[in-house]
Amino acid sequence: MSSYKATYEQDPTAIEAVAFDAASILEQVLASEKPKDRTDLKNELQDVKNFKGVTGKITYRDGLFSRVLTFLTVKDGQIVQIK
């Protein structure tokens, strides 16, 4: 985030964060040297599980990349996760 802010002199929005995660996932898959063609690349992308992105953990499931949704609340002046 500090690199983005230094370059663009503003905080990244949600769109930039999601785009960063998408590029990071692709970079990781390509760096694995497993995909030799489009089919291999597609298969490797479909195997993404618990990727630690800036927008949260990302997993490919049912044709989509999804994130774990966490609910928070304020209790006794502290932010806590709702379980």
pLDDT of residue 83: 83
Closest to 14 in 3D by CA, of 1, 29, 28, 27:
1
pLDDT of residue 38: 94
Q: Average of pLDDT values for 8-28?
A: 94
Number of domains in the chain: 1
Closest to 12 in 3D by CA, of 65, 21, 69:
21
Q: Write down the mean pLDDT value for the chain.
A: 92
Parent domain of 56: 2-81
- CATH number at 51 reads 3.40.50.2300
CA distance 59 to 64: 8
pLDDT digits (tens, 9 = 90+) for 23-61: 999 999 999 888 899 999 999 999 999 999 999 999 999
Q: Is residue 1's pLDDT more than 80?
A: no
**What is the distance of C-alpha 31 from the center of its chain?**
17
Q: Average of pLDDT values for 67-78?
A: 90
